[in-house]
Amino acid sequence: MSSPVFFVDPGSLDAVAQGDVVTVRGTEGRHAATVKRLAAGEPVDLVDGLGVRGRGRVARAGGDLLAVVLESVEREPRPPFRLVLVQALAKGDRDELAAEAATELGADAVIPWQAERSIVRWKGERGAKSLAKWRAVVAAAAKQSRRAWVPDVEEAHDGAALTARIAAASLAVVLHEDAADSLSSVLERFRAGEPPLDGEVLFLVGPEGGISPAELDRFVSAGAKLSLLAPHVLRSSTAGPAALAIAGDRLGRWPGRT
């Protein structure tokens, strides 16, 4: 079983080495000591969210303090290309569920999308609170899945910003029920074409009411490919994570493929 993960401040592991003692306080220290009830000698990982992982064992835990003796410090490089979920804002918490699962499945970034047909609207204080909640959800999912990198959750994009992002991407895929090509075939052709696997691979998931024809035309004109994910319609909370699982396999991001 993998060791539990606790966050430290970005950059705080840059100058540490094997044998050093790192002290974690506050919420993370309290969680380790009073919720997880870790005892001296138990293995833990400390990560800074930017790819640095310190592996060690508990020296002391109590109150809001966790002290860890490091046994190794590893720097996990960023992947050569970024898998990005573009998730349209949706009712309830379906968009947050999508961001959470996408993090567990390897997304490198999540972009909230204010689609033309999104019922939910992010404006002013509500928008700021919603963005902060998405970021908290993604951070918690990264911790649960033992990731050293916490995916970026960007500011919400409107159609114009997203069109520009599509034009700059290595590949942009719109998951659409009327598409003729399967996602697997789109990804296999992309990989077979042997472009440099760098930049961004975007997966666009529309809102409950679907992507408007005008938006779809703009995205395709900017270079997006349409793909069919499944023979039946998936909810907005499951479509993106399902696409990322397929991409992780087809593009060699998951073990067992080159």
Over the chain, what is the mean pLDDT?
92
pLDDT attached to residue 222:
97
- Cα–Cα distance, 218 to 222 (Å, whole number): 6
pLDDT attached to residue 59:
96
- pLDDT tens profile 194-241: 666 778 999 999 998 889 999 999 999 999 999 998 777 788 889 999
What's the mean pLDDT in 111-134?
92
If asked whether residues 222 and 193 sit together in one domain, one would say yes
Q: What predicted TM-score, i.e. pTM, was given to this entire model?
A: 0.89
End position of a domain, from candidates 60, 75, 90: 75
If asked whether residues 13 and 141 sit together in one domain, one would say no
If asked whether residues 97 and 71 sit together in one domain, one would say no
What's the mean pLDDT in 34-51?
94
CATH number at residue 89: 3.40.1280.10
| Residue in this structure with the two tokens 């567990």, named with its chain if needed | 104
- Answer whether residue 1 shows pLDDT above 90: no
If asked whether residues 68 and 137 sit together in one domain, one would say no
pLDDT attached to residue 234:
81
pLDDT attached to residue 196:
64
CATH number at residue 67: 2.40.240.20
Out of 116-120, 128-132, 148-152, 224-228, least confident range: 116-120
- Answer whether residue 253 shows pLDDT above 70: yes
If asked whether residues 87 and 71 sit together in one domain, one would say no
End position of a domain, from candidates 75, 97, 124: 75
- Answer whether residue 22 shows pLDDT above 60: yes
- Binned at pLDDT 50, 70 and 90, residue 120 comes out as confident
* Residue 90, SS3 per DSSP: coil
Residue 87 in contact with residue 99, Cβ under 8 Å? yes
Task: Provide the edge-to-edge strand list for the sheet that holds 43-47.
Answer: 5-7, 43-47, 52-62, 65-75, 21-24
pLDDT attached to residue 198:
77
Instruction: Show Cβ contacts of residue 228 under 8 Å, excluding neighbours closer than 6 positions.
Output: 175, 176, 177, 179, 180, 181, 182, 183
pLDDT attached to residue 79:
86
- Binned at pLDDT 50, 70 and 90, residue 258 comes out as very low
- pLDDT tens profile 84-116: 999 999 888 899 999 999 999 999 999 999 999
Task: Provide the edge-to-edge strand list for the sheet that holds 199-205.
Answer: 152-153, 109-113, 81-88, 199-205, 171-175, 225-227
If asked whether residues 65 and 119 sit together in one domain, one would say no
| Residue 257 covered by a domain | no
Number of domains, the chain: 2
Please report, for residues 113, 121, 124, 129, 173, the alpha-carbon distance to residue 207 in angstroms, rounded to integers and kept in the order given.
9, 12, 21, 20, 15
If asked whether residues 160 and 225 sit together in one domain, one would say yes
pLDDT attached to residue 208:
85
Query: What is the residue range of 166's domain?
Result: 82-251
If asked whether residues 147 and 246 sit together in one domain, one would say yes
If asked whether residues 130 and 54 sit together in one domain, one would say no
If asked whether residues 161 and 205 sit together in one domain, one would say yes
